[in-house]
């Protein structure tokens, strides 16, 4: 240790000089945004604010003038909000628009590279952070790292690797169980540790049947298996999301200590009360079934699927209403796959139908997403020290939730403009 640092004593000066040279253009690239309005973390709007950005972080938020020499971005006619957070995506599920979305025969790595289109469409919705919920062969880990390294342009990603599920009957001929198939608490513990050792940020369990046009709700994992996953992940500092379409899986997921519960429909009042008490996040993902019903032909769903999907939506919304009344915390999750990217934030319109105010829906898409991820000190607010992930919207999102869906005009991620639709909106009017 000593020998090493001694030897590098002289070269350290060289390193300092190199760093100084590298730092020069970054400080010259200080930006100042003039925002017509910003919304503070309590959901109040403040007029005429200057946000100063140095590198990828916000360094000040004030009513004062922009610093001399700063590159000024004039967003005076917009409301500026923090980048939104979609906590349930399937970014690596890519469809090229030919054949059927689910008829993919490419290698997962090829799909992952092509799925840069999903990343771009997601940024265009004003989403600058996602939690991605299942991917083949750790391609989500690769995608996250390529974005971090600047090789891909996309939202910040928090990833699960592959979601864990139990061996299911009946087998489909020729379909071998994948690495996410685990049975019994011991196998669950082992796979959770392995996934975390492979670099995932979260653990996901498929705690019930149900996906795409299949809206069955049968619990899969036992309570003991869920508990084994939660305890193992928590001991290693990671959080757990449990998918359950139905009430039984939801009840056990909440009791087992899941950090977030996905989809859960038809929950009993006791489970909802328990979520409110424990602070379990609810990610109801109502809109994705609307998307499937609207695009049933494209997906080649079986006859009767649309009726089943629409019935599930009604019950999903009803469950969400009861959760709102009980004070359960909501986060925005689109469950976007294949062709649904670009509609990530439509989930918020369902939140308002479920009884949240537009301001509460805004919080669900920003501060709540950040808190769910454990990133409440870096994401989901416009304040010094936070990442400079900012979205300019046209209109007042506190009065109309559709502003968050259709009103996005400019997106900044880590201090860089990644989407600019200002010209399009002005010439279109
Ligand atoms: Zn999903």
The tens digit of pLDDT for each residue in 1-27 reads: 334 333 444 444 444 444 444 444 444
Average pLDDT of the segment spanning 351-357: 98
Share of the chain above pLDDT 90, in %: 86
CA 194 to ligand 1 center in whole angstroms: 22
Q: Distance, CA 206 to ligand 1 centroid (Å)?
A: 9
Q: What is the mean pLDDT of residues 261-283?
A: 98
Please tell me whether residue 3 adopts helix, strand or coil conformation.
helix
Q: Kindly give the distance from the C-alpha atom of residue 160 to the centroid of ligand 1, in angstroms, as a whole number.
A: 11
- Report pLDDT for 4: 39
Residue 218 CA to ligand 1 center (angstroms) comes to: 16
Contact 379, 340 (CB under 8 A): no
Query: Among 192-196, 260-264, 420-424, where is mean pLDDT lowest?
Result: 420-424
List 330's β-bridge partners, or say none: 282
Q: Quick check: 278 pLDDT over 70?
A: yes
pLDDT at 175: 74
Give mean pLDDT, residues 378-393.
97
Given a contact cutoff of 8 angstroms between Cβ atoms, the answer to whether 330 and 300 are in contact is no
Q: What is the rounded distance in angstroms from the CA atom of residue 137 to the CA atom of residue 394?
A: 40
Q: How far is the CA of 335 from the centre of ligand 1 (A)?
A: 5
The token pair that represents 285 in the structure block: 């993902």
List pLDDT tens digits, range 81-122. Answer: 999 999 999 999 999 999 999 888 899 999 999 999 999 999
Distance CA(420)–CA(423), nearest Å, equals: 8
Dist. CA 87 → ligand 1 center (Å): 10
Q: What is the pLDDT of residue 27?
A: 46
Three-state secondary-structure class, residue 140: helix
The pLDDT, as a whole number, for residue 425 is: 52
Higher pLDDT, 294 or 169: 294
As given in the structure block, the two tokens for residue 260 are 């977030």
CB 375 within 8 A of CB 390: no
Distance (angstroms) between ligand 1 centre and the Cα of 89 equals 6
Compute the average pLDDT of residues 359-384: 97
Collapsing DSSP states into helix, strand and coil, what is residue 210? coil
| pLDDT score, position 169 | 65
pLDDT for residue 18: 44
Q: What percentage of the chain reaches a pLDDT higher than 70?
A: 91
* pTM, two decimal places: 0.92
186's tokens: 């011991």
Flag whether pLDDT at 428 surpasses 50. no
Q: Round to whole Å and give the CA distance between 211 and 111.
A: 20
Question: CB neighbours of 208 closer than 8 A, spacing ≥ 6?
Answer: 216, 217, 218, 219, 220, 243, 244, 245, 246, 248, 249, 250
CA of 236 to the centre of ligand 1 (A): 24
Cα(88) to centroid(ligand 1), Å: 6
Give the integer Cα–Cα distance in Å for 252 and 221: 9
- What's the average model confidence in pLDDT over 398-408? 97
**Distance from Cα 42 to the centre of ligand 1, integer Å:** 30
What tens digit of pLDDT does each residue of 62-87 get?
998 999 999 999 999 999 999 999 99
pLDDT value, residue 10:
47
> Region 228-251: what's the mean pLDDT?
98
pLDDT of 170 reads: 62
Categorize the per-residue pLDDT at 224 as very low, low, confident or very high, splitting at 50, 70 and 90. very high
Distance 72 CA to ligand 1 centre (A): 40
Ligand 1 centre from 186 Cα, in Å? 25
């Amino acid at each position: 240790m000593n020998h090493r640092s001694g030897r590098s004593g002289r070269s350290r000066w060289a390193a300092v000089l190199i760093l100084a040279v590298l730092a020069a253009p970054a400080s010259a690239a200080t930006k100042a945004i003039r925002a017509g309005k910003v919304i503070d973390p309590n959901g109040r709007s403040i007029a005429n604010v200057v946000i100063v950005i140095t590198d990828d972080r916000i360094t000040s938020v004030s009513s004062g003038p922009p610093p001399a020499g700063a590159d000024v971005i004039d967003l005076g006619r917009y409301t500026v909000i923090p980048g939104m957070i979609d906590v349930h995506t399937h970014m690596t599920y890519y469809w090229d628009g030919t054949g059927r979305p689910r008829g993919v025969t490419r290698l997962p790595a090829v799909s992952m590279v092509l799925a840069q289109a999903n990343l771009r469409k997601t940024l265009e919705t004003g989403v600058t952070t996602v939690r991605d919920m299942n991917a083949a062969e750790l391609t989500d880990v690769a995608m996250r790292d390529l974005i971090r390294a600047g090789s891909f342009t996309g939202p910040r990603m928090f990833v699960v690797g592959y979601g864990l599920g139990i061996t299911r009957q009946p087998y489909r001929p020729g379909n071998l169980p994948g690495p996410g198939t685990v049975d019994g608490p011991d196998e669950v513990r082992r796979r959770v540790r392995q996934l975390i050792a492979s670099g995932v940020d979260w653990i996901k369990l498929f705690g019930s049947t149900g996906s795409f046009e299949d809206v069955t709700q049968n619990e899969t994992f036992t309570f003991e298996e869920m508990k084994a996953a939660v305890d193992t992940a928590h001991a290693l500092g990671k959080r757990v999301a449990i998918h359950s379409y139905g009430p039984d899986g939801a009840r056990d997921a909440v009791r087992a200590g899941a950090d977030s519960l996905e989809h859960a429909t038809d929950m009993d009042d006791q489970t909802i009360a328990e979520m409110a008490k424990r602070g379990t996040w609810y990610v109801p993902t109502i809109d994705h079934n609307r998307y499937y019903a609207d695009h049933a032909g494209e997906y080649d769903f079986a006859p009767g699927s649309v009726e089943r999907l629409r019935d599930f939506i009604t019950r999903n919304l009803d469950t969400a209403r009861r959760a709102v009344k009980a004070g359960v915390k909501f986060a925005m999750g689109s469950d976007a796959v294949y062709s649904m990217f670009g509609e990530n934030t439509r989930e918020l319109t369902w939140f308002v139908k479920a009884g949240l105010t537009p301001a509460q829906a805004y919080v669900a898409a920003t501060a709540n997403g950040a808190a769910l991820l454990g990133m409440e000190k870096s994401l989901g607010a416009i304040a010094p020290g936070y990442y400079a992930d900012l979205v300019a919207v046209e209109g007042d999102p506190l009065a109309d939730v559709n502003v968050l869906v259709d009103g996005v005009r400019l997106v900044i991620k880590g201090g860089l403009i990644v989407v600019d639709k200002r010209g399009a909106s002005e010439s279109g009017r």
